[in-house]
Amino acid sequence: MKKIKLVTVLIFLFVAVTVNLVSAQQSVFSYEKFTNDKGDTLNYRRLYPDYDTLRKYPLVIFLHGSGERGNDNEAQLKWGVMNFATDQNMIKYPAIVIAPQCPEKMGWANFSNKKNSREKLLQPTPSKPMELLIELVHQIIKKLPVDTNRIYITGLSMGGHGTYDAIERYPELFAAAVPVCGGGDVTRASSIAHIPIWIFAGAEDAAVNPLYSLDMVEALFKAGAHPGFTQYPAVGHFSWLGAYSDPLMMEWLFRQHK
């Protein structure tokens, strides 16, 4: 009986410590809201790396998936982005990180799909959340010590599609991209061939066909690029668990410069 009580207490302490650590980690992301001159708003959370006024920092843009849409300015921290906020990564790779939240029933990307085809076509105008995001990025560049030669973008699922959308619309803005279980317009591969890209997917992803990733890898190689590609065997949609916990990916990302 005493052993059972001891185990119960230990489990309770473990859960309490874990919850406190997660809460403390989330608290390093400040609550922010961007409003443009039209009155449109975009909620986002921001990680500021250090109170060092002598240097500039890379800017990481993190785009969440469809399940984290809303207006609570909380849900977008659920997956992936917290890996940038560990003590180890903040001291090793100090960066300004922004995690915007896409409103309900909207998306980061604006692609159309060809009938009876996997091919996605980038539409002429960005989605409203993407438009606001790019306006926010330019505001942050003006107001914060951003190294404009080190602006990175990454995202998972809906955010993986958004990552492709962003680099295909604004190819001169970004120094590197990490799309995770996403898809883009392969006909635009030549316009992004100069951007270092590391693509991640799960081989058994039933939500986002991993062939979207393979198609983009093939198109980029044909365009003269040398993309990284990781496809996890026996993994479905949650390929971001491996991608954002991969120390080689982090080291590679922060090594990139325009």
**Per-domain residue ranges of the chain:** 30-255
Positive or negative torsion for Cα 209, 200, 181, 222: negative
**Amino acid in position 63:** L
The model's pTM is 0.89
Q: What is the chain's pLDDT, residue by residue, as a tens digit (258 residues)? A: 544 544 444 444 443 434 344 444 558 999 999 999 999 999 999 999 987 888 999 999 999 999 999 999 999 999 999 999 999 999 999 999 999 999 999 999 999 987 778 899 999 999 999 999 999 999 999 999 999 999 999 999 999 999 999 999 999 999 999 999 999 999 999 999 999 999 999 999 999 999 999 999 999 999 999 999 999 999 999 999 999 999 999 999 999 999
CB 232 within 8 A of CB 201: yes
Query: How far is C-alpha 145 from the chain's CA centre?
Result: 21
pLDDT at position 161 = 98
Element (H, E) at 214: helix 211-222
At 135-166, the pLDDT tens digits run 999 999 999 999 999 999 999 999 999 999 99
pLDDT at position 12 = 43
pLDDT at position 14 = 42
Length of the chain, in residues: 258
Fold of 30-255: Rossmann fold (3.40.50)
